[in-house]
Chains A and B, each alone.
Chain A
């Protein structure tokens, strides 16, 4: 039993118009694969990322930890006067804390990206069509058990009518 339908497009515009029409017919689109990021696709697929919120908290974490650390070392653990400055020399601490805040936000955001996207070195790519990384825009629709043959045919013809150059059932 074939479980998925791939609609292959060669142009961004035809992909977008096909996506809109399929969405209007209330057919569930499993995933869209493209050679480059397309904002319209994100909108249609209702994709949202919370990475920026996470990055804010990573930055906050970096700030608090680095300030706490610099405060602990310079004021509590070994107070030593440098150049007549107070132990708690806020202007000097700002720079270290600024840089470590950025460092923390960048490092943890990247780690989160890899974990959330489940990308890691040596991962076997589960790619539906090798042309995706070259010039193909692919709509993947997984067939549901309740779908009849005519439903599948409708999806096929819908894809073909809207500019797909090829429809593959897998």
Chain B
């Protein structure tokens, strides 16, 4: 088979297997830099703001939020969709690239999967607190109850979410953890600390690396990958159907499911890029997360961003072509030129225009610019959800219903809280778990050497 050498060397520095173990386990065995403590302190600060906001929400109720009868979905649903989107990357990265046989994923998939689990957890918080009475959140599950044989509505897209999000969280957490078992065993076998040996021994499930275990491990990885590939696509399609199955102008479109899936992958991949650049720089893992890895992610982002641009364009074109006056109003007078035009233009610029800079090799080679663009995309994707949720709700079919929406400090605080939680979990992950899949990197070392 023709083997095109387009990826360059996967692992630089002519490493041995032992060196790989040493390099990746180093952060676990040395005390972290001062920046780690500063970042942890800041994330605690953000988490405390979130905790205060959560207390206000539970103690005083949803009246502390800026929602009204018209805009009944605000920040929390925007954040829910944004976090779910970010949570798509880890799985998309590991699974699609595993299925496609892309070896360069090995240096990146672990951190991306960790990010997925935390992001989906952050996302899951929002619908629960949005109910206002989280103590009875279990009402969303179908169970025999004392209201007679009355069941939940299986025709509702919100119920589909209830099935999809916990399944996705469970599946990504299992995929992340099972993939990590051999690496936990590596840490167990090299540590000299008794406490660490006991902890890693407990969590590595007695792994010994026999051919029987490896075969089952590989088979399970493929099964999970195959099933989760379908799950990834379906989860964000279902989130899109929360909107698309309504009759609101701007939401009631058939393009929503694929448009949301692509948007999720765009925001998730750009978050992967942000985190990879940070890991690479701080932990000096340039030999594993090479320029060609960054380059490859940038190229994927250009492609996805083009699809996003196409989706934005299609929405507007179909609105104009349909001649539906309500749709025309929502898109042309509310989004493009109206009260929310700044959010709309931030969305278009950040998601469809700025990522086009990645066409240039020079830009892809400049880490600082790549880092900034990855952050810009994430901000842009947040605004995309803001545009979708707020513009359509604030001015619906009946002008007497129209109302504006301004988030309160409590809502902003909740968002900051989840950001703090996300950063805190990732920092703990960097310190206490192997952030690159050791066994998988060793598996591609041979082919990397052949290329050399």
Contact = CB atoms under 8 A, between A and B. Distances in A.
Question: Which of A32, A37, A38 counts the most B-chain CB atoms under 10 A from its CB?
Answer: A37
A45 B350 CA distance: 53
Contact of A134 (B21, B178, B207, B443): B21
Contacts of B211: 31-34, 38, 41-42, 45, 47
Given A37-B218, A121-B205, A99 B210 contact: no
Interface in A106-156: 106-107, 109-110, 113-114, 116-128, 130-135
B154 A103 contact: no
B212 A107 contact: no
Interface stretch (A20-28, A85-93, A157-165): A85-93
A110 B227 CA distance: 12
B206 A78 contact: no
A23 to B, nearest CB: 13
B154 A93 contact: yes
Contact of B151 (A36, A51, A73, A100): A73
A12 to B, nearest CB: 6
A128 B21 CA distance: 19
A134 B189 contact: yes
Contact of B209 (A73, A93, A124, A133): A133
Contacts, number: 199
B399 interface: no
B368 to A, nearest CB: 35
B219 A51 contact: yes
A36 B185 CA distance: 12
A51 B202 contact: no
A3 interface: no
Contact of A77 (B149, B170, B230): B149
B223 A133 contact: no
B151 A99 contact: no
B209 A132 contact: yes
Given A37-B217, A41-B211, A117-B217, 7 more contacts: A35-B442, A38-B211, A99-B163, A100-B167, A105-B227, A113-B220, A117-B213
Interface of B: 16-18, 21, 142, 148-151, 153-156, 159-160, 163-164, 167, 170-171, 174, 178, 181-182, 185-186, 188-190, 201-220, 222-224, 227-228, 230-231, 234, 238, 241, 439-440, 442-443, 446
7 contacts: A35-B182, A70-B154, A119-B206, A120-B205, A123-B206, A126-B206, A133-B207
